[in-house]
Structure formats: structure tokens, C-alpha cells
Amino acid sequence: MPFIMILYYLITAFLAFLLAWNFFREKKKAEDLALYLLVLIPLVLRLLRIK
């Protein structure tokens, strides 16, 4: 795997972590909770090397 690709996987993992962190910290808006998880799906699929 080229070095730049590894960097992009690290960026993806970081963004996925931020979304998960915000999901668990959110206490007020149910819409935001759903949006965090919606955005998280493609990032997790990429990290799992599925899509």
C-alpha cells in the first residue's frame, strides 16, 4: 500500500473517531445523532476495505 494511501486511511480513522466521539457526547438532538451515524457508514466501510 503506498504511503499516501496509508495517510488517507489514518485521516479516515481520525474522522470516524471524531464522529463516534460526538455521537456519544451528544445529549440534546436526536437528528444530530442520526446524522453522525449516517456519515460514519462510508468511513467504516472504507476502513474495513469493503467500499
Partner 1 sequence: MKRPAIVKAVLIVVFFFFLIEGGLRLYRHRQFDIPVVAGPGVTRVGRLSDFGPGLKGTKADTLVYFLEGPEPGGKAVLLSSTHANEPEGLLATLLMIENAVVERGTLIIIPQFNHSGSRNTRPGDGYPLYFRISTEWGLKKFRMGNRDASPLDQWPDPDVYIHYPDRQLLSYIDVRNVNRTWPGRPGGPLMEKVTFAAMEIMRREKVDIAIDIHGAETMFPVTNCIVAPEKSNRIATMAALTVKAREGFDSHVEPSPSGFRGLSHREIGDYSDTLPFLLEAPIPFLDQPTGPKTEKLLLDGKDPFLLSLAQKKKLFVSYDESGWPLEKRVGQHCSLTLEILNQYSKKNPDRSIRAREIPRYAEIVQNGVGHYFHDPSLAQKDKVFLN
Q: What value, to the nearest 5°, has the Cα angle with vertex 12 and ends 15 and 40?
A: 60
Residue 10-29 contact track with partner 1, rule CB under 8 A, x = bound: -------------xx-xxxx
Helix (H) or strand (E) holding 36: helix 30-47
CB 33 within 8 A of CB 23: yes
Shortest distance in whole angstroms from residue 41 CB to partner 1: 6
Told to check if 39 binds partner 1 by CB under 8 A, we report: no
Residue ranges binding partner 1 (CB under 8 A):
4-5, 8, 23-24, 26-30, 33-34, 37, 40-41, 44-46, 48-51
